[in-house]
A and B are shown apart, each in its own frame.
Chain A
Amino acid sequence: MSESRPYLRAQPRHWWAHQPYRAYTIRELSGVALAIYAAILLAGLVCLARGPDAFEAFRHFLASPVSLLIHLLLLAAAIWHMWTWFQILPKTMPKLVWRGKLIRQDVMSRTATLAAVACSIALLALFVVVGANI
């Protein structure tokens, strides 16, 4: 009888590169930056397994300007990942109630972001302590 024929609006080809989807695309691609960092660590592990000479070459690369530039870009992406991750968090988890009141999403995001900053500072402090005792 009545056949369903929903209207499908035509989508431009590169919709993901334009507003309002661009922010979503950038957020999702911050994951690629994390994969690049994991690949650098894995390369270090490969060099470690191959011996002292290979590992020295890896350290030599880490101390180069190119590596510094890459890591600064990765750092910016990781900070963006941290920020957006905790903006999404309250939307993906069950509602939190404390003393009969609903906890606001922006309060959850802010608290979690501060906790993450504290975690990163604690890890840097651990590096400093280990470095002082090595």
Chain B
Amino acid sequence: MSRPKDSPLPKRTIAPLFWLMFGAGGMLAALFGPALILATGVMIPFGWGLPQSLDSYANVLALARNPIGKLVLLAVIALLFWHAAERLFLTLKDMRAAPVWLLRWLTYGVAAVLTVVAFALLLAIGF
């Protein structure tokens, strides 16, 4: 879209898209993060209060083959990466750790690649 040079409207950017992903990931992590980490990383592997069979190959495969399960896995993995990318980018930018274009690639770029990897894996696992 062409925008006149003297337009009073602010220039349009895609920044709100990144904020949206940052906010969604942050909210998801705030609401469910502690319980998710406690269940998948502590309780299930050691059988403390939850059966170890919960993350058996057959059960996790069934989850990853279910369309809703796929969506949940993709949402959790991708949104957490995008949330971290936004925070890390702004912090490293404030620290003047590297040129801004490089920081963009190292944060948003990595998040984008890993999102595609998660998406491709979920497709490869099948339905």
Contact = CB atoms under 8 A, between A and B. Distances in A.
Interface string B20-40: 000001110111111111111
Contacts of A71: 37, 41-42
B77 A45 contact: yes
A116 interface: yes
A75 B38 contact: yes
A42 B40 CA distance: 13
Contacts of A123: 32, 35-36, 39
A72 B91 CA distance: 24
A49 B43 CA distance: 24
Interface in A17-37: 25, 28-32, 34-35, 37
Interface of A: 16, 25, 28-32, 34-35, 37-42, 44-46, 48-49, 52, 55-56, 59, 62-63, 67-68, 70-72, 74-75, 78-79, 81-82, 85-86, 115-116, 119-121, 123-124, 127-128, 130-132, 134
A55 B64 CA distance: 13
Given A34-B84, A38-B84, A131-B50, A63 B45 contact: yes
A38 B94 contact: no
B76 A41 contact: yes
B30 A85 contact: yes
Given A31-B86, A70-B41, A78-B33, 17 more contacts: A25-B91, A31-B88, A32-B84, A34-B25, A34-B83, A35-B83, A35-B85, A44-B60, A45-B125, A72-B42, A75-B38, A82-B34, A116-B30, A124-B35, A127-B54, A131-B50, A134-B51
Interface residues of B, number: 56
Contacts of A120: 31-35
A109 B44 CA distance: 31
B39 A81 contact: no
A68 B43 CA distance: 10
B57 interface: yes
B91 A45 contact: no
A48 B61 contact: yes
B124 interface: yes
* Shortest 5 CB-CB contacts between residues of A and residues of B: A71-B41, A35-B84, A31-B87, A120-B35, A38-B80
17 contacts: A16-B91, A32-B87, A35-B83, A48-B60, A48-B61, A68-B41, A71-B41, A75-B37, A75-B41, A81-B33, A85-B29, A127-B39, A128-B50, A131-B50, A131-B51, A131-B54, A134-B54
